[in-house]
Amino acid sequence: MPAVSPVHVLLVSGSLRAASTNSALMRTAAAVAVDGVTTELFDGMAELPHFNPDDDAEGVEVPAPVAALRERLGAADAVLFSAPEYAGALPGSFKNLLEWTVGGHEIYRLPAAWVNAAGPGRGVNADESLRKVLGYVNADVVEAAVARIPVAHGSGGEDGTVADPEVRAGIAAVLEALATHVRARRADPGWVGRPAA
């Protein structure tokens, strides 16, 4: 019986805060990854330059941090975002990262989902905005893996992960839902995959 290829998930926190609950949630995802799932934390958001369409025009070599982002997306089987909300919208640095995905093909048809670490009734604008952007770039939004997993401020332990068993079980379930979706696509002979690099 042939070996089953693991599902590789890129984890992207939308926050730059050192004590961010969103980043703690992504580190926790890496720590609890289920069997058959590998993860990678993307930590280059702060290095991305301000998006300028002139720097992403045809024939123009994109800045190195942008190329690194696109390379990581291209190598992933799925991407999981943690979506904070600031001043009623996605933080500017996170929106900037998303804008840099528009000119590339790497996120096109890429299975994508997000988790929201805010409590009930909060973060709704971030959810709506991220859904709109992912629809615009034709990502394959995996509804079964979109979840609200509230994380209390200061929950990150010394290792930067969240110890709460409900949080850990919730994020493990999200990864499993993403992996299940990817495996179903692989098994579908009618699936038209992502364009080649």
**Confidence label for 194 from pLDDT (cuts 50, 70 and 90):** low
Q: How much is the pLDDT for 1?
A: 44
pLDDT for 40 beyond 70: yes
107-135 average pLDDT score: 88
pLDDT for 123 beyond 70: no
Short-list 137, 140, 142, 58, CA closest to 105:
137
Q: Are 7 and 38 in contact (CB under 8 A)?
A: yes
C-alpha 46/C-alpha 35 separation (Å) is 31
More confident residue, 44 or 155: 44
pLDDT for 14 beyond 70: yes
Indicate the average pLDDT of the chain. Answer: 90
Handedness of CA 152, 157, 161, 165 (dihedral sign): negative
Instruction: At 196, list the tokens.
Output: 């080649």
Q: How much is the pLDDT for 124?
A: 80
**Confidence label for 86 from pLDDT (cuts 50, 70 and 90):** confident
111-123 average pLDDT score: 84
Q: How much is the pLDDT for 137?
A: 93
Task: Please determine, looking at this structure, whether the domain spanning 7-187 carries the CATH number 3.40.50.300.
Answer: no
For 124-155, write each residue's pLDDT tens digit. Answer: 888 899 999 999 999 999 999 999 998 887 77
Half-sphere exposure for 49 (CA within 13 Å, toward CB): 12
Global pTM reads: 0.92
C-alpha 89/C-alpha 84 separation (Å) is 8
Q: How much is the pLDDT for 171?
A: 97
pLDDT for 168 beyond 70: yes
